[in-house]
Chain A
């Protein structure tokens, strides 16, 4: 009905006042839709007005955030950059604010860390002092040397042998056992009762000694058994330790207890004696079941750990062997160099795996490289730099003299008292040249040729002696081959001449022989004369031989007989064996 009325409105009142119809319409609309319109505009205003909109959102924001966080962590991810930068800006603007906020959290944590560090240090120091002078300490010191650990570490590793045998999680208020874990085979009395007694003992100690409210029993010790106790708001964690546990265990306990408090908050709130819910804390309690038994501490080191030192020692041995051997070889090489005339070592060192040597070397000295092989050194390992110089070693001076003078085979040279001494025989020219050259050879003070025979002089003398000998004549009486006493002097002079010939011939390396010629006058018959000639020559030969004359040959008597100019005598001719009697 209403609908029809509205629709028909314009048609019915079309010619009537349109203003009045509009008013009616709006009035009608107001009548019909006023509440909805007010709501709509109110809603519109709530959205458009930032103040109201913010107020609306603020009413639901925390619920929205909670819902979103429960669903997934998208909101956290989205907020992270904003939160991070907000913290950054805050810190930059006023760091003190953040310090104030986190100090209550950081303060105790830092204090605890420092206290732990001190306590560890003191423990380590005490044990180090205690064990540093015993036999065991010595053993451990060796171990420290072998393993490269600090001595304190080794001491700790041997002394901190412990095993957590039981862990109790105890309800703080009632002393009831919430959870209990034990290591392997440790003998346990009824854990429920132990839990109760532990609580009673804590109360007892606390009450008996008027301890402050916050103070409580931290540990019990009976022989090598320790009970460490950590307290939380709702629960107490007690661990039974056999041996000497490190202080870190306390941290583990604290962490475990904190985690349990966070995770089991609801279970604590609704605890009525049913410990089932606390089964979930077993992993936390088991984290406290630490052990460092003697067996693990004294475990045999792995073969690799044994092998490495052995290999290192072997390698060191081999290295030392080769190093010592090389060093010996090098020293022997240096000794050889030092003993070699004409070589002066200025510096020798080893660097970069090679030997470096510098020095002075006379060109006539032995090549240092040839000495390397004698010392078993690889020439490739040696970098040598030799500067030339003239050495004054007698050997080198002699070598230089031999090189410059080129003496004939018949001359031997030596250096004596700074002088070059020549012995033997030499041509006059060589001698004269050598005298001059010797003057310019360094380190020589003179040329000594007193024992050197000048061959030119020897030859002249030989000729003289030969001439004198060949002019000698042993006279005989008519028809006789007897040597008369007055001829004895001539015989003696001939003997002397023959000896001189002999000596000079050997000096001159000129093989000679002397022919003994007999002579007769023309008075006798041919036959008689030849007989006399032979007899006289033979007679003189005999006399001369008695005077030690050598190389005598009797000349052919026939040939001698033809030499008419001679009369009853014996004469000599000196013949060199290469066919000529003289030059």
Chain B
């Protein structure tokens, strides 16, 4: 670790229910070169974010998977090779948290035990949240790392990506 390390690339997936703000989070984070319509066509949109974590140049290749709903199921094959993932839920919709939990199970089944962070988005309207502190506390007690962000104001976004970066670099 002491030597000046070369750039490391890591694949990170963004998972979550439909319209939880995954893409908005990414848009906060990077400027994308691919358009939204990739989601509706092949179900994934890829972006990249370079950051520095503890003197390590890290390049996150973000696989922003289309949000799952009643009509569309996430292609778990897109998860293959991921170093970690972000589970995104909408604080205003309780069911998105359940979906996140369900997706975590499927992801773990597909790619095993890799670092992930549960992201509760829409922190800017926290007063309207359906998701309760107790729900999150329950998950935290299971060892999950839970963060809150606002894609709208940008609060917590950078920190979240740095955190996942740190997790995947820590053996």
Q: Do A and B bind each other?
A: yes
Residues of A at the B interface (CB closer than 8 Å) are: 171, 173-177, 189-190, 192-193, 196-197, 200-201, 203-204, 206-207, 272-276
In angstroms, Cα B46 to Cα A447, docked, is: 127
The complex places the Cα of A24 from the Cα of B42 at a distance, in Å, of: 97
Residues of B within 8 A of A275 (CB): 6-7, 9
| Cross-chain pairs A/B with CB under 8 angstroms, 13 sampled | A171-B81, A175-B11, A175-B61, A175-B63, A196-B46, A196-B63, A197-B44, A200-B63, A200-B78, A201-B42, A204-B43, A207-B75, A275-B9
Most buried by B among A189, A196, A201, A206: A196
A177 CB contact (under 8 Å) in B8, B9, B43, B83: B9
Q: Are A273 and B83 in contact (CB under 8 A)?
A: yes
User: Least Cβ distance of B167 to chain A in Å?
Assistant: 14
Q: Which residues of A contact B47 (CB under 8 A)?
A: 193
B1 within 8 A of A: no
Instruction: Give the distance to chain B from A10, nearest Cβ to Cβ, in Å.
Output: 74
Chain B contacts for A171, CB-based, 8 A:
81
A204 CB, min distance to chain B CBs, angstroms: 4
Quote the shortest CB–CB distance from B38 to chain A (angstroms): 8
On whether the beta carbons of A200 and B42 are closer than 8 Å, the reply is yes
Q: Which residues of A contact B61 (CB under 8 A)?
A: 174-176, 192-193, 196
In the assembled complex, the CB of B104 is this many whole angstroms from the nearest CB of chain A, namely: 20
Contact, CB under 8 Å: B80 / A173: yes
Complex: A197 Cα to B61 Cα, angstroms: 10
Q: Which residues of B contact A197 (CB under 8 A)?
A: 34, 38, 44, 46
Which of B10, B42, B63 contacts A204, CB < 8 Å?
A: B42
The A-B contact count (CB < 8 A) is 74
**Nearest-neighbor residue (CB-CB) of B61 within chain A:** A196
A174 to B43, CA, bound (A): 17
Q: Which residues of B contact A175 (CB under 8 A)?
A: 11, 61, 63, 81
Determine the interface band of chain B, counting residues with CB < 8 A from chain A: 20 to 34
Query: Is B59 within 8 A of A192, CB to CB?
Result: yes
Task: Contacts A171-B81, A273-B8, A273-B83 known; list 7 others, CB within 8 Å.
Answer: A174-B82, A176-B81, A197-B34, A203-B78, A204-B44, A204-B75, A274-B6
Contact partner of A274 (CB less than 8 A), chosen from B7, B11, B80, is B7
Question: Which residue of the partner chain A has the closest CB to B168?
Answer: A273
List residues of chain B with CB within 8 A of the CB of A203.
Answer: 75, 77-78, 80
B6 to chain A: closest residue by CB:
A276
Contact status A189-B8, CB under 8 Å: no
A520 to B64, CA, bound (A): 176
Known: A193-B33, A207-B75. A274 touches B42 (CB 8 A): no
Chain A residues whose C-beta falls within 8 Å of the C-beta of B44 in the assembled complex? 197, 200, 204
| Residues on B with beta carbons closer than 8 Å to the beta carbon of A176 | 9-11, 61, 81
Roughly how many angstroms separate A197 CA and B35 CA in the complex, as a whole number?
12
**Nearest CB in chain B: distance from A296 CB, A:** 33
Interface status of B48 (Cβ within 8 A of chain A):
yes
A174 and B42 contact, Cβ closer than 8 Å, known pairs A192-B48, A193-B48, A207-B75: no
Please indicate the chain B residues that have their CB under 8 angstroms from the CB of A200 in the complex: 42, 44, 46, 63, 78
A275 and B61 alpha carbons, distance in the complex (Å): 14
Minimum CB–CB distance for B31 against chain A, Å:
10
Chain B window 61-93, contacts with chain A (Cβ cutoff 8 Å), 1 for yes, 0 for no: 101000000000001011011110000000000
Q: Are B81 and A274 in contact (CB under 8 A)?
A: no
Q: Is residue B113 contacting chain A, with contact meaning CB distance below 8 A?
A: no
- A206 and B42 CA atoms in complex are apart in Å by 11
- Contact check, B81 vs A173: say whether CB atoms are below 8 A apart: yes
Query: With the chains together, A201 CA to B77 CA distance in Å?
Result: 11
What is the bound-complex CA distance between A276 and B82, given in angstroms? 20
* Set of chain B residues within 8 Å of A177, measured between Cβ atoms: 9
Q: Could you say which of A174, A189, A190, A201 contacts B11, with CB atoms under 8 Å apart?
A: A174
The 6 closest A-B pairs by CB, nearest first: A174-B81, A196-B46, A173-B81, A273-B8, A276-B6, A204-B42
Determine whether the beta carbon of B33 is less than 8 Å from that of A190.
Answer: yes
In the complex, per-residue mask of B6-49: 1 if CB is within 8 Å of any chain A CB, else 0: 11111100000000000000000000011000100011101110
A345 vs B77: C-alpha distance when bound (angstroms): 97
